[in-house]
Amino acid sequence: MATRVLGISGSLRSDSHNTRLLRAAAALLPPAVEFEVYAGLKAIPPFDEDDEQAPGASVEHWRAAITNADGLLFATPEYNSSIPGVLKNAIDWASRPFDATVLRNKPVAVIGASTGMFGAVWAQAELRKALAAAGARVLDSELPVGTAHEAFADDGALAEQEHSSALAETLDGLLGEIAARAAVTGSR
């Protein structure tokens, strides 16, 4: 069965640099890897413990998408030196119930873009922290794409070779984690 990677953009806007970054990543993946950008984040309601027994279709859909993916690639903007609320909310839902979270041992990589100079480094660090707390196997690496409005070529690829190489390295790391997990669980 093909390896499946799910891309999750922390930005909902249609012209998002982070969604663009996920597309640039998709172009660097080996053809045998299936890649999809998750499109349902906006439909997920605010987390409420009272709703945990019946979280609704959008949350079930989100959890199933994670379950069905061999690995996750998050691209996050930075909002006020942290991650967008919509992303934290989605992670909170995915992290429950704690003893059966779909994030447990899931291979995950985090990358990010911002229009500021620092490329969402703080947001990436916070996102890695939240995902690790939820039990995911989070790659240590980060990919800060600063001045994101100038970072992409017309064909959608990252303009700077340094960024492109770092992204390819991150993807290698993620695919390596996926293979390592499959070797242990015998899945895929």
Ligand X SMILES: Cc1cc2nc3c(=O)[nH]c(=O)nc-3n(C[C@H](O)[C@H](O)[C@H](O)COP(=O)(O)O)c2cc1C
Q: Which residues bind ligand X (CB under 6 A)?
A: 11, 13, 16-18, 77-81, 114-116, 118, 148
148 versus 178: smaller Cβ distance to ligand X: 148
CB-CB contact of 184 with 41 (8 Å): no
User: CB of 137 within 8 A of CB of 107?
Assistant: yes
Q: How far is the CB of 123 from ligand X (least distance, A)?
A: 8
For residue 43, the minimal CB distance to ligand X (Å) is: 18
- The single-letter DSSP state of residue 44 is P
Nearer to ligand X (CB atom), residue 53 or residue 80? 80
Q: Considering beta carbons, is residue 147 or 179 the nearer one to ligand X? A: 147
Can you tell me the distance from the alpha carbon of 171 to that of 35, in angstroms, rounded to the nearest whole number?
A: 12
Nearer to ligand X by C-beta: 69 or 111? 111
Residues in contact with 182: Cβ distance below 8 Å, sequence separation at least 6, in sequence order: 70, 188
How far, in Å, are 45, 52, 54, 67 from residue 48 at the CA level? Answer: 8, 7, 11, 22
Minimum CB distance to ligand X, residue 96 (Å):
26
Residue 16 Cβ vs ligand X, minimum distance, rounded to whole Å: 3
